[in-house]
Structure 1
Amino acid sequence: MLAIGAVASATVLMSGCALSQTSQFASAFTDLSGKHFVGWFDHNGNMLGRVKIQARAHDLTYCRKHKTLFAFSRRPGNKLYVIDINAGAIKKQILSSAEQHFYGHGVLSEGGDLLYTTENRFDNSYKAYEGVVVVRNTTNYAIEAEFLSGGVGPHQLALMNQGKIIVVANGGIHTHPASPRTKLNIESMKPNISYLEATSGKLIGSFSPPNNQLSTRHLCVSNDNKVYVGCQYQGEKHHTQPLIFSHTLHDDPELEALKTELNIWRMFNQYTASLAIDPVNNRLAVTSPRGGVITYWDTQTDSLLEVTKQRDCAGIASSNGLFVGSTGRGELVRQGQRKVSLQKHRLKWDNHMINIV
């Protein structure tokens, strides 16, 4: 095995397993003409279906109960697509409420009856409102509840503790759809992860990174309810900060940076994208498109196992003890005992991927 912190072209050694032939994955993508889609593919990277959508999607979630994919518009989009993968068609298009927009992420309740989405509230005043989590049913998609997210700029969220608690990455960045990519509060931003009761939205606790310009954006949760959050640093270009933190509610008084050297953090180019956990081998994978690296971590010790180079890496998901990754250059790669190129499609995969079977 490679030494801790080594950089390699092949990924971290794992148990000798293979993707199941029933494994399927899904991701949003944009074709070379600029049209937007949601696509799903098999364990060999063969495209099984695609559906054209009006606006670029970011993340997805899959409802096994209804055999549907939910595709969430990238900020500041106001569309949520419900896709029937058997029919290969959009089942329904849902619009956010007036003066709200999606943040590209959502999560389903344990039974698949409720859909939780992070959304931004805005008006002509440009005031930085606290974000919201909107709860819709998955029968007619009516809004059942809406509660505060615990901070400004909520991004990815996840369920934990058997679906009783929602954890939200509040990035802390104030934006407005009139100038959607402009960050309006970089000096005063207050990122955090917040824990909410799933039924009431009651705030259980909020925890901030050590630097207020570490925007907490994406997260995942292990089987033992440990949260891993990836950050995007908004400070000076020459600064280097830890970008991945762990936290266990009721056990950890603060976010704990994962263990590695400063030169490794420098490789990220201040940016993390997608996180995924392999519960079989107790591994965490984190992509950095700007750094062109994927890092692998031991979730039992929170220490670095390996860094692999992957130009323009994007989404990542796990299945049967292996990781499958995508790139903005159309590549699909299996990451196991060695890196295996599955397919290269003529498209640009977005930054997130999910396992749907």
Structure 2
Amino acid sequence: MTSRRQFLAGLLATGLAPTPTWADAGSPQFVAAAALPDGSYVLCGIGAGDAIVFQIPLPARGHAAAAHPTRPEAVAFARRPGTFATVIDCASGLQKSTMTAPRGRHFYGHGAFSADGDWLLTTENDFEAGQGRIGVWDVRAGYTRAGEFASGGIGPHEIKRMGDSDIFVVANGGIDTHPDSGRTKLNIATMAPNLAYLHDGLVVETVALAPDMHKNSIRHLDVADGQVAFGMQWQGDGDPAVLAGLHRQGQPIVPLAASADHMRAMRGYVGSIAFSRAGDQVAVTSPVGGVTQVFDVATNALSHQIVAVDAGGVAARGAGFIISNGQGQLGQIAQGQLQLGARAPLAWDNHIVPVGA
């Protein structure tokens, strides 16, 4: 019997089908990369009730993904320092194309679409110059390379679009790497992380941490109502004073404060960060520390800490958050409590990406 996906693919080939939407891919609420027990890798769609509505093979380990704002299409990025990204038709389950980083570049595992979905921006490393770059890809032309511009710093990691605008914010982690040295960090003594705001190929604003925090690599981002939440990974000695913060353009950085004991529990590592749907809370995961912390935006202070072993991915869902771990579980954080579902035969990677965000 012909499957629904095969039927849709046939209609699309003849030009008779209506424009597909995310409903044609099972109405996923999120996409996330995962590893299977046999050592292969997939991109999954997560629907209502944590149902896995699709599971599509990837050629190698994925890190994060970018979900097209209207079409059932996702770009799965290789874990840094990867040089490929796979464009997937999530309705048919077919790979549409492969994006290959230009010579002298590698991806950092993240990308973001323009508001109209016609362009994709990717965080990249010009590893000979030791400078961050933003790759520009023409979606309408089949994800062909259209150009690049400066990221405003070194080691750009996550990039997000600011709401419905085409202003983007990028986390320049400040760490210089080179493929010949693998994931070795080459400039810890002089690293200088920042947040950079980008518009029309230009850096319109940068904001840096205080000098005594220059070894706090800004890595992960979320945005809500014009505000950016960012998570960091500490490269210095001892324990950092802070691992997350908030920022609005034109204003100073606001640290998200917690006690020394709570900072120690994170073990210097933020795996992912997310605003709640209402924008009044920020959740910060640490798969290394085995805890997730939830901060109150109004007070900029820790609200509660939850034991969450190997939890990496987090995103807003309902009044709380969805969370994923490397043991194949999805769960819900609500009212200060974590409820985990059954284990699936896969290991989730570090990020859960909302569809239609």
TM-score range relative to shorter protein: 0.7 to 0.9
State the SS of the aligned residue for 1:265.
Answer: helix
Q: Which residue of 2 aligns with 1:44?
A: 49
Query: What amino acid sits opposite 1:312 in the alignment?
Result: D
State the SS of the aligned residue for 2:176.
Answer: coil
Cα–Cα, structure 1 residues 209 and 193, in superposed 2: closer, same or farther, change >3 Å? Answer: farther
The answer (yes or no) to whether the contact 2:155–2:173 under 8 Å persists in 1 is yes
State the SS of the aligned residue for 1:308.
Answer: strand
**Paired residues for 1:44-193 under 5 Å:** 44-123=49-128, 127=129, 129-139=130-140, 140-160=142-162, 162-193=164-195
**Paired residues for 1:225-304 under 5 Å:** 225-236=226-237, 238-252=238-252, 255-280=253-278, 282-304=280-302
The answer (yes or no) to whether the contact 1:314–1:325 under 8 Å persists in 2 is yes
Q: Which residue of 2 aligns with 1:16?
A: none
**Paired residues for 1:8-47 under 5 Å:** 24-47=29-52
The answer (yes or no) to whether the contact 2:152–2:203 under 8 Å persists in 1 is no
> Shift of the alpha carbon at 1:59?
0.8
Query: What amino acid sits opposite 2:167 in the alignment?
Result: I
The answer (yes or no) to whether the contact 1:60–1:105 under 8 Å persists in 2 is yes
State the SS of the aligned residue for 2:159.
Answer: strand
> Shift of the alpha carbon at 1:281?
6.0
**Structure 2: distance between partners of 1:46 and 1:344:** 12
Q: Which residue of 2 aligns with 1:351?
A: 350
More helix as a share of residues: 2
The answer (yes or no) to whether the contact 2:240–2:263 under 8 Å persists in 1 is yes
Cα–Cα, structure 1 residues 207 and 161, in superposed 2: closer, same or farther, change >3 Å? Answer: farther
> Shift of the alpha carbon at 1:202?
3.4
Query: What amino acid sits opposite 2:243 in the alignment?
Result: L
**Structure 1: distance between partners of 2:172 and 2:326:** 25
The answer (yes or no) to whether the contact 1:241–1:270 under 8 Å persists in 2 is no
> Shift of the alpha carbon at 1:22?
5.9
Indicate whether 1:208 and 2:186 are aligned.
no
The answer (yes or no) to whether the contact 1:166–1:196 under 8 Å persists in 2 is yes
Q: Which residue of 2 aligns with 1:319?
A: 317
**Structure 2: distance between partners of 1:228 and 1:281:** 10
**Structure 2: distance between partners of 1:31 and 1:121:** 32
Cα deviations by residue, 1:123-178 (Å, 9 ceiling, x for unpaired): 4xxx5x21101111211212233110011100011122642322111111111111
Cα deviations by residue, 1:322-348 (Å, 9 ceiling, x for unpaired): 311100111111222443323311221
Cα RMSD for the two superposed structures: 1.8
**Structure 2: distance between partners of 1:144 and 1:329:** 39
Any unmatched runs of 5+ in structure 1?
1-20
Query: What amino acid sits opposite 2:244 in the alignment?
Result: I
**Structure 2: distance between partners of 1:277 and 1:150:** 24
> Shift of the alpha carbon at 1:259?
2.3
Query: What amino acid sits opposite 2:229 in the alignment?
Result: Y
Q: Which residue of 2 aligns with 1:9?
A: none
Cα–Cα, structure 1 residues 83 and 209, in superposed 2: closer, same or farther, change >3 Å? Answer: farther
Identity %: 34
> Shift of the alpha carbon at 1:307?
0.6
Query: What amino acid sits opposite 1:345 in the alignment?
Result: A
Q: Which residue of 1 aligns with 2:198?
A: 196
> Shift of the alpha carbon at 1:209?
4.6
> Shift of the alpha carbon at 1:195?
1.5
**Structure 1: distance between partners of 2:210 and 2:64:** 24
Cα deviations by residue, 1:274-299 (Å, 9 ceiling, x for unpaired): 11111326211110001111111122
Aligned residues: 328
> Shift of the alpha carbon at 1:317?
1.3
> Shift of the alpha carbon at 1:45?
2.2
Query: What amino acid sits opposite 1:305 in the alignment?
Result: S
> Shift of the alpha carbon at 1:121?
1.0
Cα–Cα, structure 1 residues 86 and 186, in superposed 2: closer, same or farther, change >3 Å? Answer: same
The answer (yes or no) to whether the contact 1:167–1:194 under 8 Å persists in 2 is yes
Cα deviations by residue, 1:10-47 (Å, 9 ceiling, x for unpaired): xxxxxxxxxxx966221101112221111112222222
Query: What amino acid sits opposite 2:117 in the alignment?
Result: G
Any unmatched runs of 5+ in structure 2?
1-25
Large movers: runs of 4+ above 4 Å: none
Cα–Cα, structure 1 residues 72 and 23, in superposed 2: closer, same or farther, change >3 Å? Answer: closer
Q: Which residue of 2 aligns with 1:340?
A: 339
